[in-house]
Structure 1
Amino acid sequence: MQSAASAPGPGSIDLGNIKRLPILISLIIGAFFSILNETLLNIAFVDLQKEFNVAYTTIQWLSTSYMLVVAVLIPASALLVQWFTTRQMFLGAMILFSVGTLVCAIAPQFSFLLVGRIIQAFGTGLMLPVMMNTILVLYPPEKRGAAMGSIGLVIMFAPAIGPTLSGLILESMNWRWLFYLVLPFAIFAVIFAFIFLKNVTDVTKPRVDILSILLSTIAFGGIVYGFSSLGEVENGWSNPRVYAFVAAGTVALALFIWRQLTSKTPILDLRAFKAPMFSFATVQVIIVMMSLFSTLMLLPILMQQGMGMTAFAAGLVLLPGGILNGFLSPITGKLFDKFGPRALVIPGCAILVLVMWLFTRITLDTPTSTIVLLHCTMSIAMSMIMMPAQTNGLNQLTRQYYPHGTAIMNTLQQVAGALGIAFFISVMSSGTKDYMLSSSDPTNPAEGALALNAGIHDAFQLGMIFAIVALVLSFFIRRSVSPKEEGAAEPRMSATH
């Protein structure tokens, strides 16, 4: 980082004449379609497996590689936003996403489709930190809740409608239309941003630490890849593919943390964790994300394999909750601005604990309406927790930590997603096996469905434990006050930083 004299400050760019709404619209349009694409392809896996004649574990790489690239790229984004302007970062992200979408649409074989997904992931990985960092720069702390709520609408609503929209398209069209229909909107986002998006961040061009980037790639890539492989390989943790990558990632992560704390120019400044509300928010968001993934992964499995629903029908069951979550996010954002985080996060976590307990009581005979109601209730809880907790944590950071704070939160959410999927799928599988071992008639197909239900109950119980931990943490949250509001000058990096 540069010296104190040149450290980014709030006066470096005049934000008084910048119109915020067009910039917010640009971010929302671009983010919606890039995030939508994360879940849009999942229901098409069966069709893709048949067309390209590859194993299901191979097809899974279309999702695993996406998560892997995003997790690897986001830590470096804290450095990139200091090297490139807002326009350059956003337009670069959307152009990459558009190119990747085109490659996917015309892919003649699986390898081309995988390359296209990786290019898309590069766009998404650049998009998320830029979006959140821009909101932090544009809006003062007392107005960030509403702005972050609008972003929350996109982040929660887009992946929720992905499976349903995908199922609807696949009912009458080829899987390639999943990309052809997204491409015009991605191009529109590029044109709209080119016209309306303005630069709002300072370009300081700090020194690039190649070793930190290498350690970050090995750390987050190894951990995400290892945990993502847990559900795809035999023997689970005893498989070398799992423990070797997780061990390598863990060692690299320890070295990466040491490097960031001792380097004069860290790419991901971990001193952001000195802000207690940011630390609380980060841990809470990780726990809640793991509970969320338990539901998003387990409910479709239960409905399709246990209750005999089609993928499209299962997507429709989850659609009302996703829509509700999206539309509530702006509302809870405004309530956060008015009442602070405790009024939302504490009751939200209490509702989450109740819902996770009720999920442990569902059976193969549970009415579909009950599942819809439980999922909608969970969506209400999520809208009360996620964006208020994140916004409150980021509000305590000073401006030079904005890129680092957003990168830390986005990276750990990706890692939490991988951990959540691995833990809950392994718990479900273990519970299913235990039930079958004690079954008097393991060859009976009905017993298989009951075994699956038992395994999912075990996984939901784990999710409930995570929700209880989140509830306990919520009582320690207080409203963040930025250093400027406390009357102190905004701290700058020292000359040696």
Structure 2
Amino acid sequence: MSTDIIDTSDHVNDPPHTPATSAGAPSGAPAPTRTDKLGPGHFRVIALLMASAFTVILNETTMSVALPPIMADLQVTESTGQWLTTAFMLTMAVVIPATGFLINRLGTRGAYLLAMSLFTAGTALAMVAPGFALLVTGRVVQATGTAIMLPLLMTTIMSIVPAHMRGRVMGNVTLVIALAPALGPTLSGIVLEPLGWRGVFGVVLPISVLALTAGILWIRDVSDRETMHLDPLSLLLALVAFGGLVWGLSGLGEAAETAALINPWIPLGVGIAVLGLFVWRQIVRQRTESALLDLRTFLQSNFRLAVVIMAISMMAMFGTMIVLPLVLQNAVGMEPLTVGLLMLPGGVAMGLLGPVVGRWYDRFGPRPIMIPGTAMVTVAIGAFAFLTPTTPLYYILGAHILLMIGLASVFTPLFSAALGVLEPHLYSHGSATISTVQQVAGAAGVALFIAIMTIRRTALEDSGIPTPEAMASGAGLAFGIGALLMAATIGVAAMIKRPESDGEFSGGH
């Protein structure tokens, strides 16, 4: 994050930035003082939150490379080993809806220390786990801390960053979200050779301990705490609803290959049914300001539209991230290291472009960035639909870089435009809602792409087509359908408006 936003005086205990007008403020109340700069105390908080978020998100993608040696060492099958990823996603989906309550109740400091303590404990447990059961337990504890961190980061930014600077600061969040997953497999591959799979956790552990120590010393509450009571029924409904959705969606791709489609549909159907009960419960609890996840965020059209774009974009991104490496290895014949290096430039480009897009958002607003961004993502996924076993390397590299640049142009303004229209007390609930949508939509994207590819590939193999050509054709169909879905977001992006709170300070920044 650039230092040009730091003021010359320390504002560690400054009140959070407040827009010029606040809903519900007394008519005779003095207008809050406009803060043009971000004080060094607040800057340290955001920088530490970003570094911590980078660490916990980096951990998510290290398992993709570390899974084979873990399976060999602990003597588990591939279907069992996949629980290291599935359990992580399930935990994230269940915990994230409660983060709005946790952040409001515990404050910035309490939520950060809880998140990093859980992540550190989970990392240590995973590193020394003697068997697979304790390793999965460690991953679940890690995921609990990870689930708190990203909503906490976005809520803190919305609470203390002046409206006219949110775009550029949110751009740094895109850097964290994009660069960390891109570097995860590369870091894992480097560490595995000399240190083994336990070394993957061993490298992360001292970093998380350092972040926890820095949090104890530096993190202070930057927004007011709210006295809230946890609703056990809402928590139970969230567990069954979001857990069932992610569990069912995660199993659809594998079920498509074995033709046992009834199994994943059971948790998926239960999840959908209980989700309706969860929504009803939150609407009832909102009347007493005690909802686990306040759904009044959806009363804002910007937020509703942003959730639609976010869901489809996350489906496209996660589906592509899973299917593309499979096709490149099994159909094109690339080595895993080559695939990882091929996908690295796109992830780096997405991360580095985030701050630039953030500055463009502050200057021009969301539409001039999101419309071409959604179009670029559509074109890139459509380009992957024409992959064959003989597709040139430069074609794949160019399409992947275009995809990542397009996603950077979508996500950075999306966060700012969605959360910027909410009242401050809804920031944490809006952040939690967006993060929950990311997890469920990501699982849905993987399930959709894998299922389409597998069904098409199996049909072609049965007709005598060689496996590489059949897999490339199946993946092409999945990418084609994904491109059609993404094309619908271009028109939705044109309806996203600039939050009114941004307009006063946008010119010239």
Instruction: Please say whether Structure 1 and Structure 2 have the same fold, judged by a TM-score greater than 0.5.
Output: yes
Residue 176 of structure 1: aligned partner: 198
In 2, Cα distance between equivalents of 1:24 and 1:190: 14
1:274 aligns with 2:296: no
C-alpha distance in 1, partners of 2:38/2:195? 48
CA distance in 1, matches of 2:185, 2:502: 43
Question: Is structure 2 residue 488 aligned with structure 1 residue 463?
Answer: no
Deviations 1:248-269 (A, max 9, x none): 1111100111111122221111
Q: Answer with 237-246 or 68-77: which moved more.
A: 237-246
1:90 is the counterpart of 2:112:
yes
Q: Identify which of 417, 438, 461 aligns with 1:413.
A: 438
Match for 1:46: what amino acid?
Answer: P
Deviations 1:88-141, CA, capped at 9 Å, x for gaps:
111111111111111111111111111110110011011111111001101122
CA-to-partner distance for each residue in 1:222-259, whole Å, 9 max, x for gaps? 11111112233467785443121111111110011111
Residues 15-67 of structure 1 show CA distances to partners (whole Å, capped at 9, x for unaligned) of: 98772210111101110110000001111111111111111011000001111
Structure 1 residue aligned with 2:92 = 70
Displacement after TM superposition at 1:168 (Å): 2.2
SS of the equivalent of 1:198 reads coil
Distance 1:235 1:44 in 2: 24
Q: 1:450 aligns to what?
A: 469
AA matched with 1:464? A
2:181 matched to 1:159?
yes
Matches within 5 A, 1:386-401: 386-401=411-426
* Seq. identity, %: 36
Greater CA drift, 36-45 or 159-168? 159-168
Cα contact 1:397–1:482 (8 A) shared by 2: no
CA distance in 2, matches of 1:302, 1:237: 21
> Given residue 144 of structure 2, which amino acid in structure 1 is its aligned partner?
F
Is contact 1:52–1:109 with CA below 8 Å preserved after alignment?
yes
1:50 equivalent among 72, 82, 91: 72
Distance change >3 Å, CA 278–CA 237, structure 1 → 2: farther
- Taking the TM superposition and a 5 Å limit, the aligned residue runs for 1:283-302 are 283-302=308-327
Task: Give the 3-state SS of the residue equivalent to 1:464 in structure 2.
Answer: helix
* Secondary structure of residue in 1 paired with 2:197: coil
Out of 492, 499, 505, the residue aligned to residue 473 of structure 1 is 492
In structure 1, stretches of 5+ residues that fail to align are: 487-497
Letter in 2 for 1:409: I
Label 1:18 to 1:208 Cα distance change in 2 as closer, same or farther (>3 A).
farther
Distance 1:200 1:18, change over 3 A: farther
Aligned-partner residue type, residue 181 of structure 1: V
In structure 2, C-alpha distance between the alignment counterparts of 1:140 and 1:256, rounded to whole Å:
34
- 1:208 equivalent to 2:233? Answer no
Equivalenced residue count is 474
Structure 2 contact 331–388 (Cα < 8 Å) conserved: no
User: Aligned partners of 1:398, 1:484: CA distance in 2, in Å?
Assistant: 16
- In structure 2, what residue type is equivalent to 1:362? L
For 1:189 and 1:237, the matched residues in 2 are separated by 46
Q: What letter matches 2:89 in structure 1?
A: M
Q: C-alpha distance in 2, partners of 1:65/1:471?
A: 34
Which of residues 336, 354, 358 is equivalent to 2:361? Answer: 336
Whether 2:48 is the aligned partner of 1:26: answer yes
Does 1:430 find its partner at 2:449? Answer: no
For 2:42 and 2:220, how far apart are their aligned partners in 1?
Answer: 9
Deviates more, 1:23-32 or 1:202-211: 202-211
Query: TM-score normalized by structure 1?
Result: 0.91
Matches within 5 A, 1:224-373: 224-233=246-255, 239-263=261-285, 264=288, 265-373=290-398
Give the residue type in structure 1 aligned to 2:493: S
204-213 or 245-254, larger mean C-alpha shift: 204-213
1:192 to 214, 223, 227: 214
Paired residue type of 2:243: G
- Verify the 8 A CA contact 1:71 1:220 in the aligned structure 2: yes
Does the 8 A contact of 1:303 with 1:314 survive in 2? yes
Q: CA 1:16/1:458 → structure 2, altered by over 3 Å: closer, same or farther?
A: closer
Over 3 Å counting, the alpha-carbon distance change for 1:478 and 1:230 in structure 2 is same
Q: Distance in 2 between matches of 1:421 and 1:17?
A: 42
Q: Tell me by how many angstroms 1:380 deviates.
A: 0.8
SS at match of 1:207: coil
Equivalents in 1 of 2:446, 2:423: separation in Å?
Answer: 34
1:382 aligned to 2:418?
no
User: Partner of 1:145 in structure 2?
Assistant: 167
Quote the Cα distance in structure 1 between the aligned partners of 2:297 and 2:259: 33
How far is 1:173 from its partner? 3.0
- Per-residue deviation at 1:77? 0.7
Superposition deviation, residue 462 in structure 1? 1.4
- Could you say if the C-alpha distance between residues 245 and 377 of structure 1 is closer, same or farther in structure 2, counting changes exceeding 3 Å? same
- The amino acid across from 2:353 in the alignment is L
Distance, in Å, in 1 between the alignment partners of 2:419 and 2:25 is 24
Pair 1:157–1:27, CA change in 2 (3 A): same
> Which deviates further from its counterpart, 307-316 or 130-139?
307-316
Deviation of the 1:170 alpha carbon: 2.1
Structure 2: distance between partners of 1:43 and 1:334: 35
Counterpart secondary structure, 1:85: helix
